[in-house]
Amino acid sequence: MTGRSIREPGLKGGTTGLLVSVFAGGLAGVLASTVGCGSDASPAVSVPGSGMVQPPADANTAAGSPQGTTAVATPVEAPPVDAPARVPERAAPEPVSGTSVAQAGSGAVPPPLDTAPEAPIATAGNDPWCDTLSVFRTSCQSCHGDELVAGAPMSLVRHADVMASSVSDPGRPVHELIGARIHDVTRPMPPLSHDALSQADIAVIDTWLSAGAPDTRSACAAAPVEPKEADREPEWPSDCEERYEIRVGDASGGQPYTVPANTEEDRNFTISVPWTSGGRGPVQALAIRPLTSNKRVVHHWILYAGTDFITSWSPGKPMETFPEDVGVHMPTSGTFRLNMHYYNVGNSQPEPDNSGLEVCITRNPRRYTATTYMFAGSASVPPASKVENVAECQVRASEPVHLITSSPHMHQYGVHAKLEIVRSDGSVEVLEDAPFNWEDQHVTPIDGVVQEGDRIRITCVYENDTEQAIRFGSSSEDEMCFNFARYYPMDAFQCVPGAGLLGGFF
């Protein structure tokens, strides 16, 4: 089945284009975020003449699967994305509703408790719970609201929510996990791909937790009403000629996929490329808009053309656009593989989903065509150790090459990633240097220009708390060290591995 065309009237086609040079083959958990890359290790494949290693095809993909889909669904415990603190002492029982108690010496009888005057509205700074709730509204409720998003297992809207048992550790209430996660460097909440809490916000939550995570006797001020992202009409580029939707249901005659109850799974959907060249030349993507039909269960997705990485999405990522003179290479035939990561743990109900993306294309290419390059390094980690694996390659460029995004990829032992340019004069330009969390992999915009004679250096930092050595592999128990960097112009760039570097570790 194919995607649906949404043709813009009165626009015409054109020519030019190039081939994708990325070797990002079949990683089930690359970039967008959150889990490993399959459960069965497959051998790596050497890329002839490059000194690099192509990652194996997705371990969960098998030929002949019904409707072009495959999956491995296993019930698992949720990662502690809920949040932490102490169990407060409970107040003494109040009188039964509807009864009254005389005030000694006054002769007055107060009204029944259920008809007491309405509580005053709390203002900022005078109520620990209301102040904490204000932080949750600003920084947490986009996922942990009344409408759960991206596999969030619980809301952070009411005091009862934070007093409930956590999904990941039923022996601990949610508020006990909040304090730990807001101070966690490698697995923080909010996730690394979202704006971090300010120190002032962290202090607000810590103050509330240190007081025993109390409720309030006042009514917290109402939250402002913000328009939902889905209600905002996207601004497509003016040179967008045609728009196509690529959805999960396109693999099965338009029928949504049903995510089983209480499961986490990676599922691949094979979808025909919805546009064809028709003799009119190559195709560039000018913008890519995520389409999420079931926010509760869609954790992230990755789009491949064959084994080549095209793009990815995780919560918080808006419509992707490119510099005004740059379009991204798209295939003109064959199939896409839409790798969906679903998280429905803690939900007793199956959930239908028909998510995907909308792509605007042009057949009159912009000046530059961008594609993705895979930088690779060592994924070997000795037992019970913290190591920094550093790899370099030598730039071969026929003209200045612009690096515009960085997408590091490791598994559960990866804690930090770095991407640098080492200039021919020995100076170093840092493009990305940030904590890494395999549950929240992301795409970071960068702005770097490399030329002949420069070197690219990647660093993957691991913490191995086991007594077993860790090697490269596609299982989440193995490791990887990649950075998928988008660049332009296409075909103007190669990076030759140095002695023992970038490709000599596998």
pLDDT digits (tens, 9 = 90+) for 419-474: 999 999 999 999 999 888 776 667 789 999 999 999 999 999 999 989 999 999 87
Q: Which of 33-47, 341-355, 389-403 is least confident? A: 33-47
pLDDT beyond 90 at 185: no
Element (H, E) at 387: strand 385-397
DSSP state of 437: -
> Which one has a higher pLDDT value, 78 or 299?
299
User: What is the maximum alpha-carbon separation in the chain?
Assistant: 97
Domains of the chain: 4-75+240-368 (no CATH), 372-497 (2.60.120.230)
pLDDT for the residue numbered 25: 35
More confident residue, 336 or 76: 336
The pLDDT of residue 37 is 33
How does pLDDT run across 83-127, given as a tens digit for each residue?
333 333 333 333 333 333 333 334 444 444 444 444 444 445 578
Give the DSSP H or E segment for 359: strand 356-362
pLDDT value at residue 56 = 36
Hey, what amino acid is at 193?
Answer: S
Residue 472: closest CA among 421, 445, 437, 506 = 506
Task: Please tell me the predicted confidence (pLDDT) of residue 232.
Answer: 59
pLDDT of amino acid 64: 35
Please give the average per-residue pLDDT across 362-377, as a whole number: 92
Partners of 479 in the β-ladder: 472
Tokens read off for 104: 């000694």
Question: Nearest 5°: phi and psi at 259?
Answer: -80, 120
- What percent of the chain has pLDDT above 90? 33
Q: Which of 61-70, 254-263, 321-330, 404-413 has the lowest mean pLDDT?
A: 61-70
Per-residue confidence (pLDDT) for residue 404, from 0 to 100: 94
Tell me which of 257 and 411 has the higher pLDDT: 257
Cβ–Cβ < 8 Å for 247, 269 = no
**Per-residue pLDDT, 172:** 80
Residue 181 has pLDDT above 60, yes or no: yes
Mean pLDDT of the chain: 72
Distance between CA atoms of residues 357 and 289, nearest Å? 6
pLDDT (0 to 100) of residue 98 = 35
Tell me what pLDDT residue 51 has: 34
pLDDT at 36 over 60: no
Name the pLDDT band for 138 (thresholds 50, 70, 90). confident
Report pLDDT for 259.
94
What is residue 226's predicted lDDT score, i.e. its pLDDT? 55
Per-residue model confidence (pLDDT) at position 202: 85
Give per-residue pLDDT as tens, 216-226: 766 776 665 55
Residue 472 is given by DSSP the state B
pLDDT at 105: 39
Least confident of 204-208, 388-392, 414-418, 444-448: 204-208
On the CB side of 442, CA atoms within 13 Å amount to 20
